[in-house]
Chains A and B, each alone.
Chain A
Amino acid sequence: MERERWNRRSDFLFASIGAAIGLGNVWRFPYITYRYGGGAFLIPYFIALITAGIPLVIVEFGLGRMAQGGAPLAFAKIKKGLEWIGWLALFAVMSIFLYYSVIMGWIWNYIVFSVKAMWGANPNAFFFNKFLHISSGPGQLGGLNWMIIIGLALTWLWSYNYLRRGTKSIGKEIYWTVSIPWVILIIMVVRGLTLPGAVDGLNYYLTPNFKSLLNPEPWLAAYGQIFFTLSLGMGSLIIYSSYLPKDSDIANNAFITSLANCGTAFFAGFAVFSTLGYLAVAKGVTVPQVASSGIGLAFITYPTTISLLPFGAAFFGVIFFILLLTLGIDSQISQVEPFTAGFMDKWKFPRKFILPIVVIFGFLGGLFFTTRAGYYWIDIFDHFTCSYILTLVGLLEAIVVGYVIKASKMREYVNSVSEVKIGRWWDVCIMIITPIILGISLVMEIINTVRKGYGGYPGWVSFVGFGIVALFIILSVVLMKIKGKEE
């Protein structure tokens, strides 16, 4: 079976940029920047980008292109006994797409709600009580939510349509779903900057507090943000680069992808904080009192602002949620594709056979997160998948490339095909800086969770979380042991 190929280099670049740019660029980066020293946070952020982000993107692009296969095949080609690391990345990505598609389902609903600002005077109560019908805790599942199920089905139908012809259908659609968010962000920035209070918001976003850099927290937050924002450890960048022709560049593509992603996050901060400045003025409070991130920003704070806009509330509400939807779909397909391709690579299943199975599995698995306790479980799965499995995969990737393949050999390979040559600094990043930072993050997270539990949930939740991590590791080894086709 001949390997699929991108039609153009730009198809690959847009797909990689789309994979990296996701909801976190809008709802996480601006808040983290504000929280950890404003403009001063850019210093650890840029250092993290150069010493861990870009080097790891080069690793993933290099592995995929060298192996001409997804994460399991890439690790198996290095050493047969390492294949499980690739499967672990795919189990992480599976866990993510199961709940990510449900958040996409929420967003579909909020596009409709925005038309008439259906959240009324209390978006918080609307979101948790009227929309999610949230239960009292993760142990109380309750019934399914049909509104969310419809959104979930739409997301999976769109994902299927996006991926049904592989690189050919991705290459056609990706230009739209990467460009539309930028057009919307420009509209939102222009609107935000013309609102009263916008400057106050931007001052909170960017005024540097250099003293904060004396603490370790901003540095760990910067490395964490860079690691997750570039979609590392998921196998997405590995599979996309495996579709590159054999004479394609690696290093320059890595720089372009990383900078485009971080540039989008930086720009999104202007849209978010100019609007938060207005919200603070409208409510007669300070910006820190309204600043929020994640689900709170998207489904509570922003709807509150929309209700207070002097005109065009419905328009700005709808385009905000279309922004989230178009940001999210590229990430969603970049999660489904490596998972699907893992089975195509090992057992030579044709796409038309395995993709519908993955889509149906994703839809059925997502139903769990549409229950009344779904909100809690999204938070729990997100924490245990991102903080443990993705960090572990990133750590193992750096160790394998740095010490098993040898960083200098990988660098020679990358430089042999790249327009931009990387120097010995890259070896230091992969062999020392990245493993140390990811190792510290992993150990600190484990100690924190063991000591205090997670998120104020009952103790059994941590057992379930660690159980899922252990289960994924065991299943990864099992899949490695099962013989593939034409091995």
Chain B
Amino acid sequence: MNASAIAMLVIGVVILYGGLAYFISRAMKHK
């Protein structure tokens, strides 16, 4: 894959899966 595609892949992963992990961890704390 070219560098710019990899950069977008990283951005997508960080925002979507990083965000999801963050909000799930917040939910676990309040369980």
A residues neighboring B (CB under 8 Å): 9, 38-40, 42, 46, 199, 202-203, 205-208, 249, 252-253, 255-256, 259-260, 262-263, 266, 419-420
- Evaluate contact between A256 and B17: CB separation under 8 angstroms: no
- Evaluate contact between A263 and B20: CB separation under 8 angstroms: yes
Q: What 10 new A-B contacts, CB under 8 Å, besides A249-B27, A263-B16? A: A39-B4, A39-B9, A39-B12, A207-B5, A208-B5, A208-B7, A252-B30, A259-B16, A259-B19, A263-B17
- Evaluate contact between B19 and A252: CB separation under 8 angstroms: no
From A39, A206, A256, B24 is in contact (CB under 8 Å) with A256
- A82 vs B15: C-alpha distance in the bound complex, in angstroms? 37
Please, which residues of chain A bring their CB within 8 A of the CB of B27? 9, 249, 252-253, 256, 419
- Evaluate contact between A259 and B5: CB separation under 8 angstroms: no
Distance of A477 from chain B, by nearest CB (Å): 39
Please, which residues of chain B bring their CB within 8 A of the CB of A419? 26-27, 29-30
Please, which residues of chain A bring their CB within 8 A of the CB of B15? 46
Please, which residues of chain A bring their CB within 8 A of the CB of B7? 39, 208
Distance of A57 from chain B, by nearest CB (Å): 12
- A46 vs B15: C-alpha distance in the bound complex, in angstroms? 9
**Contact A420-B8, Cβ < 8 Å, known A203-B1, A249-B30, A263-B17:** no
Please, which residues of chain A bring their CB within 8 A of the CB of B4? 39, 207-208
B residues neighboring A (CB under 8 Å): 1-2, 4-9, 11-12, 15-17, 19-20, 23-24, 26-27, 29-30
Main secondary structure of the interface of B (DSSP, over half): helix
From B5, B17, B19, B29, A39 is in contact (CB under 8 Å) with B5
**Contact A259-B23, Cβ < 8 Å, known A39-B4, A207-B2, A207-B4:** yes
Please, which residues of chain A bring their CB within 8 A of the CB of B12? 39, 42, 206, 266
- Evaluate contact between B19 and A420: CB separation under 8 angstroms: no
- A39 vs B2: C-alpha distance in the bound complex, in angstroms? 12
- Evaluate contact between B8 and A256: CB separation under 8 angstroms: no
Please, which residues of chain A bring their CB within 8 A of the CB of B30? 249, 252, 419
- Evaluate contact between B26 and A42: CB separation under 8 angstroms: no
From B1, B5, B11, B20, A260 is in contact (CB under 8 Å) with B20
| 15 pairs from A and B in contact (CB 8 Å cutoff) | A38-B5, A42-B12, A205-B5, A206-B9, A206-B12, A207-B2, A208-B4, A249-B27, A252-B23, A256-B23, A263-B16, A263-B20, A266-B12, A266-B16, A419-B26
Distance of A303 from chain B, by nearest CB (Å): 27
Distance of A316 from chain B, by nearest CB (Å): 23
- A253 vs B24: C-alpha distance in the bound complex, in angstroms? 9
Distance of B4 from chain A, by nearest CB (Å): 5
- Evaluate contact between A202 and B26: CB separation under 8 angstroms: no
Please, which residues of chain B bring their CB within 8 A of the CB of A39? 4-5, 7-9, 11-12
- Evaluate contact between A206 and B1: CB separation under 8 angstroms: yes
- A262 vs B2: C-alpha distance in the bound complex, in angstroms? 23
- Evaluate contact between B8 and A255: CB separation under 8 angstroms: no
Distance of A261 from chain B, by nearest CB (Å): 10
Please, which residues of chain B bring their CB within 8 A of the CB of A262? 16
Closest to B30 in A: A419
